[in-house]
């Protein structure tokens, strides 16, 4: 699938393998990824954390990669790093990539968990002025509320995102899906998860709304919600 080298941590155990997909400019050392791995280790479950190319401990320059590349990294993780069925857990942008992966590998993906999933954010997450800056300068640099480093978006990433939009009246995913979203999320509207749940073809779709939850959903109570959701999805 890809000749890129990806940093990863694999926990052996019984399946289906849980694979965590981070958000934009994030990596596999986040609170949620580590919590999923800790639960897996405690219960003898297989788990994989990995960094997209150019992110975290994986080699490469962040700005050289796009959503299509990171989608391919997720498919490579499914195809080359684990065997058997997988449950994909995706945060923010990772919630977009798990949908792309489920559409591409319906025979391998047996469950999805989205955390503040942000599919198609290239279409709704940028103002006309920001899009104009991308087209004129090829990149957009903004202060990040989550890091002391600015958030950089490239025109190549934005264009790849527009090509890979998934929000359709019917999204052809038939596995069980769980969507967790904070209603105090300042970055991704919680209504998006409700709309996503309605669009996914599977009959086994549940949405959990956390009234005071922010975008990260990394508080102890939020982590508890995530873990209990995974437990019920993978008995």
Among 51, 72, 73, 185, the one annotated catalytic: 185
Q: In this structure, is residue 158 part of a structural domain?
A: no
C-alpha–C-alpha distance, residues 197 and 8, integer Å: 30
Model pLDDT for residues 110-149, shown as the tens digit of each residue: 999 999 999 999 999 999 999 999 999 999 998 877 777 8
CATH number of the domain that residue 211 is part of: 3.40.50.1820
C-alpha–C-alpha distance, residues 57 and 53, integer Å: 9
C-alpha–C-alpha distance, residues 216 and 45, integer Å: 24
Q: In this structure, is residue 132 part of a structural domain?
A: no
Question: What is the rounded average pLDDT of the residues 205-230?
Answer: 97
Residues near 220 by Cβ (< 8 Å), separated by ≥ 6? none
Question: What is the rounded average pLDDT of the residues 177-188?
Answer: 97
Among 51, 92, 181, 222, the one annotated catalytic: 92
What is the reported pLDDT for 3?
A: 67
pLDDT score of 150 more than 90: no
Task: State how many domains the chain has.
Answer: 1
What is the reported pLDDT for 2?
A: 59
Question: What is the rounded average pLDDT of the residues 42-58?
Answer: 97
pLDDT mean across residues, the chain: 95
pLDDT score of 1 more than 60: no
Domain containing 17: what range? 8-120+168-233
pLDDT score of 94 more than 90: yes
Q: In this structure, is residue 159 part of a structural domain?
A: no
Q: In this structure, is residue 141 part of a structural domain?
A: no
Among 26, 69, 72, 215, the one annotated catalytic: 215
Active-site residue, 147 included: no
Active-site residue, 212 included: no
Model pLDDT for residues 114-124, shown as the tens digit of each residue: 999 999 999 99
Q: In this structure, is residue 145 part of a structural domain?
A: no
What distances in angstroms separate CA 16 from CA 45, 79, 134, 181, 187, one per listed residue? 8, 14, 40, 24, 31
What is the reported pLDDT for 144?
A: 78
Q: In this structure, is residue 155 part of a structural domain?
A: no
What is the pTM for the complete model shown?
0.95
Active-site residue, 9 included: no
């Amino acid at each position: 699938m890809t000749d890129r080298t990806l940093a990863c941590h694999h926990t052996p155990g019984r399946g289906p393998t849980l694979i965590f997909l981070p958000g934009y400019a994030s990596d596999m050392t986040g609170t949620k990824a580590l919590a999923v791995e800790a639960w897996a280790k405690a219960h003898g479950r297989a788990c994989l954390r990995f960094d997209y190319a150019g992110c975290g401990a994986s080699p490469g320059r962040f700005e050289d990669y796009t959503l299509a590349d990171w989608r391919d990294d997720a498919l490579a993780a499914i195809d080359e790093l684990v065997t058997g069925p997988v449950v994909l857990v995706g945060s923010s942008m990772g919630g977009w990539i798990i949908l792309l992966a489920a559409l591409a590998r319906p025979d391998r993906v047996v469950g999805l968990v989205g955390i503040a999933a942000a599919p198609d954010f290239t279409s709704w997450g940028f103002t006309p002025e920001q899009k104009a800056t991308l087209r004129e300068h090829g990149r957009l640099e903004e202060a990040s509320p989550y890091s002391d480093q600015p958030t950089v978006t490239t025109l190549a990433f934005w264009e790849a995102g527009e090509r890979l939009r998934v929000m359709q009246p019917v999204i052809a995913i038939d596995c069980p899906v769980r969507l967790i979203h904070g209603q105090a999320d300042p970055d991704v509207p919680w209504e998006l998860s409700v709309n996503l749940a309605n669009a996914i073809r599977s009959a086994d779709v549940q949405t959990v709304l956390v009234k005071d939850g922010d975008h990260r959903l990394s508080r102890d109570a939020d982590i508890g919600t995530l873990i209990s959701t995974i437990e019920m999805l993978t008995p």
